[in-house]
A and B are shown apart, each in its own frame.
Chain A
Amino acid sequence: MNQAIRSSWMAAVALFALIFGAISYVQVIGADDLNDNPWNQRAVLASFCNERGSIIVGGKPVAESVPGTESCAFQRKYNQPELYAGVTGYFSKFFGSTGLEQSMGETLAGNSDQLFLDRMSQMFLGNEPKGASVELTLDPEIQKLAFDLIPDGQRGSIVVTNPRTGAILAMVSKPSYDPNLIATHDRAAADANYNELNQVPGINLNQNVSGPTGNLLSPGSVFKLIDTAAALNSGKYNKDSELPNPSSLPLPGSSASLPNYAGGNCNVRETATFVFALEQSCNTPFASIALDLGQDAIRDQAQKFGFGETFGDQLKLQQAKSIFPEDLDQAQLAQSSVGQRDVKATPLQINMMTAAIANGGVQMKPNLVETVRAPDLRVISELRPEALRTSTTQPIAAQITEWMTSAVDNGIAKGAAVSGVKVAGKTGTAELGDSGLNNSWFTGFAPANDPQVAVTIVMEGVDVLSGAQLTSPNAKKIFEAVLNK
């Protein structure tokens, strides 16, 4: 019996030998891998109170580290917080970080590989660690103008980009919030503020589902630009094609029908050219194109403009993918072709689609970060514009530009016209159920012959009249502000 007891003891010791081995592996041998794991927050939390680099717009910090309390040396502070919240996000001890604070976190904290030498010298010189600063492409005046063009209490987004480079000049949405409320080191206050903000309709502190990059909205008639590109691309249609334009199109396999807008000028003609259909934004010609080409052709074209895709590695913001649904029946396809039903797009997506048309069919990567500077102001990285994808051919882009110009000169987007400049534009009015309220869109660019700025505006839940007042005329103000610079 005693021999068996000794053997049992040895078995127990053997189990313990395994434990000693496992502990050694976790705490010493494999520790570096675990410490470098991207899910491991400990490094971030350890450096939470260090001085982070600033996020800079137009030479002024919109997010910076200011001296904090004794227990935490630096506190993150946001200047003009509501204006830039959608871009900066927040940096919180309790809720992690979002926006650029998250995506540029390593750089701002000084932990990125490019800053390795700075880190070493800080260590040897005994200096406090300090992160790199990030300068944005945003233009503070345009950003402010765009923000003020959305009335308080109105939900909406505005995106302004340079279609040639993809640089984002302004990107705002309302309602916005003050990231300082989340970034406070006072746990109780941060908790209360977070819960309160998340109650506000339209505010979601998760960027993936809110703001210009995350808010998925029915695009309405601005989607017709994709139908047009698909039609021209198919070779079955050209600029002179006569499209069927019944005042109402019976939906196949359904008792419902798709009408043209009753109050508009569409119903004066039985057939329509592209230019007329786009000027007046008639529904039935585009529905018949979609039924003719089939859903795959429309979906492929939407994908080439970015639906179902992300916008490359230069945006540095979380983003939602716009949706053109799968497996549509004919009735659903007809409604989807005019941007209704389950078609959803982010404001950024509509702007990128517009910018691709402006840039001869080539979609540039949208970008926010112009320059990254080390603490000694040395430039670490600088933006180089890159093409993201080819959305359509140069001739088709030029043709659509011509028709969009006509829609501003002669059609229902005329509110966006700027004197002395050719403006290309398209409006959209996506109905929200039977409420009588709509998502009202404008998207366009100027000058049409030498595009320098693409503007996309969406106002959510507005009636037709105020929608018209809040979109095209506001786009005009932004065009003027950018072009007069």
Chain B
Amino acid sequence: MIQTDTSPKPRRNVELVLIVLALAVGVGASALVSINSDVGLDRDFWFQSSLLAVAAFAFHMVLRLRAKYADPVILPIVVALNGLGLALIHRMDGPGDDTGNNQLRWTLIAMAVSIAVIWFLKDHRILRRFTYISLAVSAFLLLLPLIPGISAGEILGARVWIRVGPMTFQPGEIAKITLAIFFAGYLSSNRDLILLAGRKIGPMQFPRFKDLGPMITAWLVSIGVLVFQRDLGSSILFFGLFIVMIYVATSRISWVVIGLLLILGGGFIASQIFSHVAFRIDSWINAFTPEVFGRSPGGSGQIVEGLFGMADGGLVGTGLGQGRPDLVPFANSDMIVALIGEELGLIGLFAVVMLYLLLFTRGFRAALGTRDAFGKLLACGLSFAIALQCFVVIGGVTRLIPLTGLTTPFLAAGGSSLLANWIIVGLLLMISNTARGPVDTTPMVGKPPASSSTPGTRKPATGQTPSAPTEAVKQQ
């Protein structure tokens, strides 16, 4: 491990400057939208902009108090994305539509929850105690939309929604986090067992059959989501999340190979059995044949209209508010990437994708920097989940892969997605805080002092129970 600068620096002032820049992006976009829609910079505009700014600065202050060594780039990136998303959703709102304000409300709720997570959790390692609780919670959350009474039924072909009072919510978004916590906890405890045993075939060492248990579980969860919730996107996301985490835990490429084979096999069988998967694939391959284009539901009209919009945008875009994204179904949620491509052009969309790239790179950086296996796995899994989610969404919209119903993190309209992604940001910030901060030699809160550890020392891995602290460090 190369260490160029060992003295920890908080860099909160850098963050403050970057947040101002990030707010300029979101508020500037919002101003353009307001001016183009002939209302001008009215009271709503100023009110909404100041709410976002206040929330961003409040978050910043919390970091100063509770996680002062946290990565200074993560929060500004997310504020920029969220602010841009608010402007774009506002831009798609017709008279009487309230999606923009609803998104702002959810943004504030999500930021508040994220702040609460940082404030009360203090240290991400505490989450490791909840490894199996997380598994139970994940199962509960994933089953919720299938329970009559709570389930909001089938919306747009997928059963992923629950209804609480007047609101709908996608519990699967939160399950993404709890599953990552479970995988991180389980793998950080059992990686040595999984690592040591196995059979070597050619250059690759394959795991023992009984160690395949968690992989089979993850596969079943993914297939279950696909079959019962009809949600191809989440299914891919959950499985990808697991593959990466087990790969990082074991450094064995064989896991990736097995995982990819399983997902390809599962995907092939699903495409043969389930019409919703077959339709997705058909509207991807045959998007430009008339019968597929005109088919409803399950046609390719949505993706083709999105492509038309992006092509119309070209290099520099039509300008915010100047395009015709109203021709694209779901332009403010599933297809928001097409809206960016159309109105902000290739340049604008590249900038947004670059922000995501920076965001997950900072997440991976935190994974590299933190000293506990649990934190490494969690940061890595969550960062990769962000990257994979972006890939599935943008790849779908650009017809690189079949379009699935995942949301674009922080941009797309939808409260559950915002909440989940802000919590992920909170976790990444906390992990980066331990990664970048001075070496923590104090005992964990509420725990008896554990064996102290310092970077660079190699300790043999000991058999750990899930509730044991995770100071055992294995650095490669």
Contacts and interface: CB of A to CB of B under 8 A. Distances in A.
Nearest to A19: B394
Interface stretch (A3-11, A55-63, A227-235, A470-478): A3-11
A42 B328 CA distance: 11
Contacts of A19: 353, 390-391, 394-395, 398, 400
A2 B455 CA distance: 13
Interface in A352-382: none
Given A8-B384, A15-B391, A18-B395, A31 B311 contact: yes
A198 interface: no
Interface string B98-133: 000000000000000000000000000000000000
B391 A18 contact: yes
B364 A5 contact: yes
B460 to A, nearest CB: 15
B381 to A, nearest CB: 9
Interface in A1-57: 1-9, 11-13, 15-16, 18-28, 30-35, 37, 39-42, 45
A28 B350 CA distance: 13
Given A12-B360, A27-B315, A34-B308, A3 B350 contact: no
A23 B349 contact: yes
Given A23-B349, A42-B327, A16 B387 contact: yes
Given A4-B248, A31-B314, A35-B311, A22 B364 contact: no
Given A8-B380, A39-B293, A16 B399 contact: no
A30 B312 CA distance: 11
A318 to B, nearest CB: 16
B276 to A, nearest CB: 23
Contacts of B314: 27-28, 31
B390 A27 contact: no
B373 A26 contact: no
B185 interface: no
Nearest to A17: B357
B227 to A, nearest CB: 26
B324 A42 contact: yes
Contacts of B327: 41-42, 45
Q: Which of B311, B346, B361, B476 has the largest count of A CB atoms less than 10 A from its CB?
A: B311
Given A18-B395, A42-B327, A27 B311 contact: yes
Contacts of B383: 9, 12
B415 interface: no
Given A30-B311, A42-B312, A23 B387 contact: no
Given A23-B353, A39-B304, A3 B388 contact: no
Contacts of A24: 346
A12 B387 contact: yes
Interface string B304-347: 10011111111100000000100100000000000001000110
A274 to B, nearest CB: 46
Contacts of A13: 357, 361
A4 B251 contact: yes
Contacts of B346: 23-24, 27-28
Contact of B247 (A8, A25, A27, A33): A8
Interface residues of A, number: 37
A5 B384 CA distance: 10
B364 A9 contact: yes
B455 to A, nearest CB: 12
Contacts, number: 138
A31 B341 CA distance: 12
A16 B391 contact: yes
**Chain B interface: which size bin?**
35 or more
Contacts of A16: 353, 356-357, 387, 390-391
A37 B308 contact: yes
Give the residue among A4, A27, A33 with the most B Cβ atoms within 10 A.
A27
A12 B341 CA distance: 22
A2 B315 contact: no
A7 B476 CA distance: 13
Contacts of B394: 19, 22-23
A12 B353 CA distance: 12
B77 interface: no
A45 B310 contact: no
B167 interface: no
Contact of A26 (B310, B353, B361): B310
A6 B398 contact: no
Interface in B229-252: 244, 247-251
Nearest to B400: A22
Given A16-B353, A24-B346, A5 B395 contact: no
B162 interface: no
A20 B250 CA distance: 31
Nearest to B366: A5
Contact of B249 (A1, A7, A40): A1
B199 interface: no
A27 B248 contact: no
B208 interface: no
B308 A2 contact: no
B137 to A, nearest CB: 25
B367 interface: yes
B474 interface: yes
B353 A15 contact: no
A15 B388 CA distance: 8
19 contacts: A5-B364, A5-B376, A5-B380, A6-B368, A16-B356, A19-B398, A20-B353, A26-B307, A27-B346, A28-B314, A30-B311, A31-B310, A32-B311, A34-B308, A34-B311, A35-B312, A37-B288, A37-B304, A40-B308
- The 8 A-B residue pairs whose C-beta atoms are closest, nearest first, are A34-B311, A12-B387, A22-B398, A31-B311, A22-B400, A15-B391, A9-B364, A27-B346
Given A18-B391, A32-B311, 6 more contacts: A8-B247, A13-B357, A15-B391, A27-B341, A31-B311, A33-B311
